[in-house]
């Protein structure tokens, strides 16, 4: 699967070798180098994807010219969110301060970077996003969203595709880690109902069998391969 940045690099490369490009018409400026930080990792590499990305971005920061094409895809996502935002914002700020900057194409899900404190106000920075269609503007679930695969001016306010309860749980875990607090168990209505069922089962088990026999059956039961229905039939024959 090719991302938008992959397609940009391929179109530029194809145009420079005299090949056709997948477009009705295209104006492609003369390009001397194509720099990529795409989050890819060779199978034989003993370095992490983040370290490889740092090396690739360092190369483009040092050697890119006004005729270069620089592609950054999800740069900064291999480390802490705050560090990733800082690294990406610093790289963009570096290019924006060029008198004649290279052509830089950045793709990111770090929507926090669109705050004025991270990106400089510059006419050299243009924001684009992939358009979506939401039948109900109050719904953010992925089931209600139609992706139009069309690049339009602006930027996304959030990412889509992960259930809201997962996002809320992730936010809670990050906050508790940041303030060095113990992480409590995740509980929702289904888990609470299951817990209650287990409590009732254990209570019945210890009322039906002597404590020693009940404990032995529980320890002997294989939770991975055991038949739970058969276990209940043996413990509560009168209930089945």
Q: How far apart are the first and last CA of the chain?
A: 53
pLDDT at 230: 75
Q: What Rg value do the Cα atoms of the chain yield, rounded?
A: 27
pLDDT per residue rounded down to tens, the chain (240 residues): 567 888 889 999 999 999 999 888 888 989 999 999 887 766 556 778 788 888 899 999 999 999 999 999 888 887 887 888 888 888 998 998 899 999 999 988 888 887 767 777 788 888 888 888 876 665 555 667 787 888 888 887 776 667 777 778 888 888 888 888 877 766 666 766 776 776 666 666 666 656 566 666 666 777 677 777 777 676 666 554
C-alpha to C-alpha distances, 156 to 15, 128, 131, 215, nearest whole angstrom: 31, 8, 9, 55
Nearest-5° Cα angle at 93, 42 to 124: 105
pLDDT at 119: 77
Instruction: Provide the whole-model pTM.
Output: 0.64
C-alpha to C-alpha distances, 154 to 86, 88, 114, 199, 202, nearest whole angstrom: 21, 18, 10, 53, 57
pLDDT at 64: 93
The CATH number of the structural domain formed by 4-126 is: 3.40.50.300
Contact criterion met (CB below 8 Å) for 176 and 155? no
pLDDT at 61: 92
Domain extents for the chain?
4-126, 189-239
pLDDT at 49: 79
- What lies within 8 Å, CB to CB, of 38 at 6+ separation is 5, 6, 71, 73
**Strand intervals (E) in 54-111:** 69-73, 103-107
Question: For residue 12, what are its two tokens?
Answer: 């530029």
pLDDT at 238: 58
pLDDT at 237: 62
Cβ count within 10 A of residue 138: 6
pLDDT at 41: 64
């Amino acid at each position: 699967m090719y991302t938008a940045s992959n397609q940009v690099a391929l179109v530029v490369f194809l145009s420079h070798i005299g090949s056709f490009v997948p477009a009705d018409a295209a104006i492609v400026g003369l390009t001397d180098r194509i720099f990529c930080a795409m989050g890819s990792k060779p199978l034989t590499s003993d370095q992490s994807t983040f370290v490889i990305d740092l090396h690739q971005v360092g190369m483009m920061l040092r050697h890119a010219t006004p005729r270069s094409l620089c592609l950054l895809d999800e740069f900064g996502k291999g480390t802490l969110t705050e560090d990733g935002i800082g690294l990406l914002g610093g790289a963009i700020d570096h290019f924006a301060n060029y008198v004649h900057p290279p052509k830089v194409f950045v793709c990111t899900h770090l929507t926090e970077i669109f705050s004025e404190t991270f990106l400089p106000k510059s006419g050299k920075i243009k924001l684009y996003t992939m358009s979506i269609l939401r039948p109900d503007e109050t719904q953010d679930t992925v089931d209600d969203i139609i992706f139009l695969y069309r690049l339009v001016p602006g930027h996304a306010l959030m990412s889509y595709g992960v259930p809201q309860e997962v996002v809320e749980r992730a936010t809670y875990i990050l906050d508790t880690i940041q303030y060095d607090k113990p992480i409590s168990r995740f509980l929702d209505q289904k888990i609470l109902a299951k817990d209650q069922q287990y409590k009732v089962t254990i209570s019945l088990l210890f009322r039906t069998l002597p404590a020693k026999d009940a404990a032995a059956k529980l320890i002997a039961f294989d939770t991975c391969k055991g038949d739970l229905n058969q276990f209940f039939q043996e413990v509560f024959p009168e209930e089945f």
